[in-house]
Amino acid sequence: MIESLARVVGREHVLHTPAALIAYGVDATVGYRGTPGAAVFPGSAHEVAEVLALAADRGWTVVARGAGTSLAAGAVPPPGAVVVSLIRLREGPWVDPSALSARAGAGVTTADLQSAARAEGLFFPPDPSSQAVTTLGGNAATNAGGAHALRYGVMRHYVTGLEVALCSGDVERFERGTELEPLVDLFVGSEGTLGLITDLEVRLIPAPAARATLTASFADAAAAARATVAILAAGLTPGKLEFMDDVSIRAVQASRKRGLPSDVGALLFVELHGEVEDVQDQARAALDILRESGASNAARAETPADEARVWEARGAITSSLARLKPGKIGEDICVPRTRLAEAVTAIKRLSAERNVTIALFGHIGDGTLHPNVVYDPAQESGARAARDTLEGLARIGVELGGVLSGEHGLGLVKRDFVPLAWDWETIGAMRRLKREFDPTGILNPRIMWPEPQAPAST
């Protein structure tokens, strides 16, 4: 394996010793670890395709890797797998202001594209919290979203073209506006199971002229959820509408004193976008709604520094949870907005019933909730309870008319819960579609779809 891969990409771009492979057996999902046989770093789309063709011929399992920021164990390899890192595909980004578009290699970071767009007065909205390191190829493969998804949509809404390396050894390009447009949507969100994205074309939009940030405190998470629905029902569409519960507040404050209130059940953060006068009007209307919804301390951030402090606190949640317990598993169910209050209430009830700590936060405006189960991996009973709680969270999402994943993808974390969302006939159709692109089944075969537990007709 090592000699064959080295002939394709060069020996210096193949790792195979146990010490060198430690980092490539994990991603950002705590508690999941694999044992790859090699990690390979192609320098072009054609090298990626050649590696895939070689793997298909030899029967080697392949797991694609961007920056390893998956929170669903989507990049955790099975034993002996070849991890194909796309981090060297860093050409671009090239921004075309006249066409409101950009092109970049799959290894370009989200932050680099956003910076290049901003320099031209443009805006690339998808903003996963790991945007400083996460790559565009990984964003597309998982259909990543972020805080801007409420107003602007997710990655799927911005990808206009893809270059993809296939198991056949071919490199194909799919673009919107052509007969191959459906393949763009097929590959966005496919989590490396059909082919590997090597290059992207995306659309950009003009940057908003003005912004305003509001904060509000609530007695509990359900009250914050009801206020969210009230804001949206009034016809307001914020650029961001985020929340964090009391557990998240406690973690962030334990990490570093940020002046967050300690005697509230939840905080709601609202960012409004638009023309200057429109933003002023929206801010007044939103503050009225927040207060009518029972908020205390509803206020507008007065300065850019104040705004930055608000969003820094929100962004610090994930990294701060280790202050509560050393391990965590982050979920991302998404429910209809009208069911948000029911969802957060059910999650709080589940936390009490299972005696597990759940930090609850997320992009509440579009219905995406991030219940993070925190636990101590060194305590077997706590780790087992944390894993067992995941199915309960999945059931809450699906039973309230939602989906298993709002933006993280399915990965290993949610694979076993897929039958809660789709029947076996539908799952079988998905698996047949995969075989059309991956006949030998080498591409990340463990994620997304469980093996059938019942006849396909049931």
For 365, the token pair is 């405006």
Residue 56 domain-assigned? yes
**pTM, to two decimals:** 0.92
Residue 142 class from Cβ within 10 Å (0-12 exposed, 13-18 middle, 19+ buried)? buried
346 & 399 share domain: yes
Cβ atoms within 10 Å of 376's Cβ, excluding its own: 14
How distant, in Å, are the alpha carbons of 259, 403, 433, 447, 458 from that of 193? 45, 20, 10, 8, 25
Identify each DSSP E strand in 342-433 by its residue range: 357-362, 370-375
Write the CATH number for 233. Answer: 3.30.70.3450
116 & 156 share domain: yes
Residue 429 domain-assigned? no
132 & 194 share domain: yes
Write the CATH number for 7. Answer: 3.30.43.10
201 & 214 share domain: no
Report the pLDDT averaged over residues 107-131: 94
274 & 363 share domain: no
Asked if pLDDT for residue 458 goes beyond 90, the answer is no
Residue 159 domain-assigned? yes
267 & 331 share domain: no
341 & 371 share domain: yes
User: What confidence score (pLDDT) does residue 455 get?
Assistant: 42
**Average pLDDT value for the chain:** 93
Residue at a domain's end among 155, 182, 206: 206
220 & 120 share domain: no
Write the CATH number for 178. Answer: 3.30.465.10
197 & 102 share domain: yes
User: What confidence score (pLDDT) does residue 16 get?
Assistant: 95
Residue 382 domain-assigned? yes
- Residue-wise pLDDT for 303-331, tens only, equals 999 999 999 999 899 889 999 999 888 88
Residue 415: partners with Cβ closer than 8 Å, 6 or more residues away: 446, 447, 448, 449, 450
For 198, the token pair is 């090597």
Please say whether the dihedral angle defined by the alpha carbons of residues 444, 448, 454 and 458, taken in this order, is positive or negative.
negative
Residue 435 domain-assigned? no
330 & 397 share domain: yes
pLDDT > 90 in the chain, percent: 85
Report the pLDDT averaged over residues 398-426: 92
Residue 350 domain-assigned? yes
Residue 260 domain-assigned? yes
For 454, the token pair is 């019942």
Residue at a domain's end among 61, 85, 109: 85
Task: Tally the domains of the chain.
Answer: 4
User: What confidence score (pLDDT) does residue 299 get?
Assistant: 94
Q: Measure CA 60 to chain center.
A: 27
38 & 128 share domain: no
Asked if pLDDT for residue 453 goes beyond 70, the answer is no
Residue 361 domain-assigned? yes
Strand order in the sheet with 159-165: 94-96, 101-105, 196-203, 159-165, 171-175
For 251, the token pair is 């973690």
- Residue-wise pLDDT for 20-72, tens only, equals 999 999 998 888 899 999 999 999 999 999 999 999 999 999 999 999 999 88
175 & 185 share domain: yes
Asked if pLDDT for residue 105 goes beyond 50, the answer is yes
User: What confidence score (pLDDT) does residue 384 get?
Assistant: 87
Write the CATH number for 387. Answer: 3.30.70.2740
DSSP-assigned beta bridge partners for residue 332 = none
Residue at a domain's end among 251, 284, 318: 318
* Domain extent at residue 377: 325-412
DSSP-assigned beta bridge partners for residue 196 = 165
